[in-house]
Structure 1
Amino acid sequence: MGGDTGGIERVYRRRRGLPWQYLGMAGLLCVNALLQVEHTSADDPYAPKWRPWVLLALVAVAVVRVLLEQFRAYTRVTAAGITAQGALRSRTWAWHEVYDIRVERAPRGSGRMAPQWLTYLYDLEGRRFLLRHLDDWQLDDPYAEVSELCLAAAPRRSLTWERRPNVEERILRRAARRKAWTWAAYGALITFFVMVVLDIGMVATGSPEHEFLLFVCVPLASFGILGAVLDRYWTSRPPRSLVQGP
Structure 2
Amino acid sequence: MSYERLPLEYRMSSGRLRLLITMILLATPAALLPVLTIEEIPTGIRTVVSLAVVALFGWLVYGSRRCATTADIKAIGVRGFFRRRRVAWEDVQDIRAELNPAAALQSAAPTYITFVYGRDGRKLQLPYVDDQHVSMEREMALLLDIWTELRGDDWAPDARAAVLIDRRNARQAALLSGMSWAMLGFLPLIAIMLVPLFTDLPEGLESLLSPWAVMGVGLPLIFVLTALASYRRSLRNL
Shorter-chain TM-score: what band?
A: 0.5 to 0.7
Q: Is the 8 A contact 1:29 1:59 kept in 2?
A: no
Aligned to 1:122: 117
Aligned to 2:214: none
Per-residue Cα deviation, 1:93-141 (whole angstroms, up to 9, x for no partner): 22232122222344245444x65433222223332222233233432x1
Partners of 1:135 and 1:172 lie apart in 2 by 23
Query: Shift of the alpha carbon at 1:75?
Result: 0.9
Unaligned runs of 5+ in 2: 179-219
Partners of 1:152 and 1:174 lie apart in 2 by 28
Query: Shift of the alpha carbon at 1:17?
Result: 1.4
Return closer, same or farther for 1:168/1:150 CA change in 2, 3 Å cut-off.
same
Aligned counterpart for 2:13 among listed residues 13, 16, 25: 16
Aligned to 1:95: 89
Return closer, same or farther for 1:15/1:25 CA change in 2, 3 Å cut-off.
closer
Aligned to 1:151: 145
Per-residue Cα deviation, 1:78-107 (whole angstroms, up to 9, x for no partner): 2x3323222332222222321222223442
Return closer, same or farther for 1:74/1:24 CA change in 2, 3 Å cut-off.
same
Q: Is the 8 A contact 1:115 1:137 kept in 2?
A: yes
Q: Does 1:38 align with 2:29?
A: no
Name the aligned partner's letter for residue 38 of structure 1: L
Aligned counterpart for 2:56 among listed residues 61, 66, 77: 61
Query: Shift of the alpha carbon at 1:64?
Result: 1.7
Larger proportion of helix = 2
Aligned to 2:168: 170
Q: Is the 8 A contact 2:66 2:80 kept in 1?
A: no
Partners of 1:96 and 1:37 lie apart in 2 by 53
Q: Is the 8 A contact 1:101 1:121 kept in 2?
A: yes
**Which runs of at least 4 in structure 1 moved beyond 6 Å after TM superposition?**
53-56, 177-180, 243-246
Q: Is the 8 A contact 2:28 2:53 kept in 1?
A: no
Name the aligned partner's letter for residue 127 of structure 1: R
Q: Is the 8 A contact 2:119 2:158 kept in 1?
A: no
Q: Does 1:142 align with 2:139?
A: no
Asked which structure has the greater CA Rg, the reply is 2
Name the aligned partner's letter for residue 98 of structure 1: V
Name the aligned partner's letter for residue 80 of structure 2: G
Aligned to 1:225: none
Q: Does 1:73 align with 2:64?
A: no
Name the aligned partner's letter for residue 237 of structure 1: L
Give the TM-score of the pair, scaled to structure 2: 0.55
Return closer, same or farther for 1:64/1:151 CA change in 2, 3 Å cut-off.
same
Return closer, same or farther for 1:175/1:123 CA change in 2, 3 Å cut-off.
farther
Identity over aligned residues, as a percent?
A: 25
Name the aligned partner's letter for residue 8 of structure 2: V
Q: What SS does the aligned partner of 1:164 have?
A: helix
Q: Is the 8 A contact 2:95 2:117 kept in 1?
A: yes
Residues matched between the structures, number? 185
Please, what is the CA RMSD of the aligned residues? 4.7
Q: What SS does the aligned partner of 1:118 have?
A: strand
Per-residue Cα deviation, 1:134-153 (whole angstroms, up to 9, x for no partner): 233432x1243123322342
Partners of 2:116 and 2:163 lie apart in 1 by 17
